[in-house]
Amino acid sequence: DGGITQSPKYLFRKEGQNVTLSCEQNLNHDAMYWYRQDPGQGLRLIYYSQIVNDFQKGDIAEGYSVSREKKESFPLTVTSAQKNPTAFYLCASSITPDRSQPQHFGDGTRLSIL
């Protein structure tokens, strides 16, 4: 079955540590996205990538970094500069970058501070 796989499901970060969240898709989609979800809020876009070797900042990119070296992979690094990283992180993809296309989501990674 095609889909998006996020790992790990739960992740704990120590003070001053960078952590990387994995996102892999086998849908052959061009576009991929990272969102942050906090309780009582809608999804907020961190970064997106329209095509391999390209990515753009979203609304809340500070303290995060990404790479898109392969079409199927879009890892997100939460750096020590992100002072409030505790949240549920969702990766998504769409067949094209056109925002009228629906997005397909992984099951998320929950990041907490130790």
By CB under 8 A, name the binding residues for other proteins. Answer: 4, 6, 40-45, 88, 90, 92, 98-100, 102-108, 110
- Please give the backbone phi and psi of residue 7, each rounded to the nearest 5 degrees, phi first: -145, 150
CB of 109 to other proteins, least distance (A): 10
CB of 4 to other proteins, least distance (A): 7
> Is the bond leading into 8 cis (omega within 30 degrees of zero)?
yes
C-alpha R_g of the chain:
13
Closer residue to other proteins in complex, CB, 16/42:
42
In angstroms, the CA 28 to CA 49 distance is: 14
Closer residue to other proteins in complex, CB, 10/16:
10
